[in-house]
Amino acid sequence: MSVPATIGDYHVHTQLCGHAEGELAAYVERAIALGMTEMGIADHLPMFVHWEPSLTMAMEQLDGYVTAVRSLSARYPEIRILLGVEADYFAETEERVADLLGEHDFDYVIGSVHFLGDGFGFDQSRNKQEIEARGVDAIYRESYRLVARAVGTGLFDVVGHLDLPKKFGHRPTDAAAIDVCARDALAAIAAAGTAVEINTAGWRKPVGEAYPAAALLASAAALGIPLTFGSDAHTPGDVGADFERAVELARAAGYAATLRLSDRGSVALP
């Protein structure tokens, strides 16, 4: 397998989050083996509410994470390694997250909605039954509303897996109404100047399609929303997974360029 060398994988996790495997160096070595010249580690930032050890690193591990990622650069001069993080959005912890992010010189922050306002984790397989009980449409609606709020804070550079509620294959009943919600979220993303990612993990989940869906991606392109690529790797072998296919998806959606996060430069898609 090869990946387009100009496409960096900016969504890579580490063991610290409690649900990923492999040494940090192995993720980097995989990216190098694929020919990448830039990548970013973006593990889950600790959460101030609804936290469990299997969800994100603990607060006391954050300094070590920053040091570990930064120290990779000296060891692997052949690739530029950015220090990123994937932060959850909760309205009630906006200020604490802002302060926490401000304590470290992160190169970028992926903002992700994995939880509804009451802390319900709709992407966790243990919650599949409750998704149906709560109503799939209600979950889509609230997740898009939270994405719109999240980007309004200005804390995030990239929106992670925009249409995550589809993970287990759940489709909206009222597709037209949910599409309106998605487009409202995209309008907020565009207004905030935030990027979206093509997250290839969706191809490895029951839904069997990347996030976001092709139609949403086309809307994002039409709005001029910058695009990054991420594997959401939780194991070293998934770094760069399906990036060739992701580039095809981006091109079909109308994208001609991708956002390089090291200098916020626009780079032509291969």
Does position 38 interact with Fe ion (CB under 5 A)? The reply is: no
Query: Is residue 161 within 8 Å of 185, Cβ to Cβ?
Result: no
Q: Tell me the site size for Fe ion, rule CB under 5 A.
A: 2
Tokens matching residue 125: 């397989």
Nearer to Fe ion, 58 or 257 (CB): 58
Nearer to Zn ion, 160 or 165 (CB): 160
- State the amino acid at position 220 in one-letter form: A
Q: How far is the CB of 161 from Fe ion (least distance, A)?
A: 6
Does position 43 interact with Fe ion (CB under 5 A)? The reply is: no
Nearer to Zn ion, 112 or 219 (CB): 112
What SS3 class is residue 233? strand
Contact residues: Zn ion, CB under 5 A: 112, 160
Binding piece for Fe ion, criterion CB under 5 A, among 54-62, 99-107, 174-182, 225-233: 225-233
Q: How far is the CB of 124 from Zn ion (least distance, A)?
A: 10
Distance CA 29, CA 49 (A): 34
Q: What are phi and psi of 214, to 5 degrees?
A: -55, -40
Phi-psi region of 213 (alpha: psi -120 to 50; beta: other; left: phi over 0): beta
Q: How far is the CB of 179 from Fe ion (least distance, A)?
A: 23
Does position 232 interact with Fe ion (CB under 5 A)? The reply is: yes
Does position 238 interact with Fe ion (CB under 5 A)? The reply is: no
Asked if residue 212 has a cis previous peptide bond (ω within 30° of 0), the answer is: yes
Contacts to Fe ion from residues 45-104, by CB under 5 A: 86
Strands lying side by side in the sheet with 195-199: 38-44, 80-88, 108-112, 158-159, 195-199, 227-230
- Strands of 138-180, DSSP E: 158-159
Nearer to Fe ion, 163 or 232 (CB): 232
Does position 163 interact with Fe ion (CB under 5 A)? The reply is: no
Binding site residues, Fe ion, CB under 5 A: 86, 232
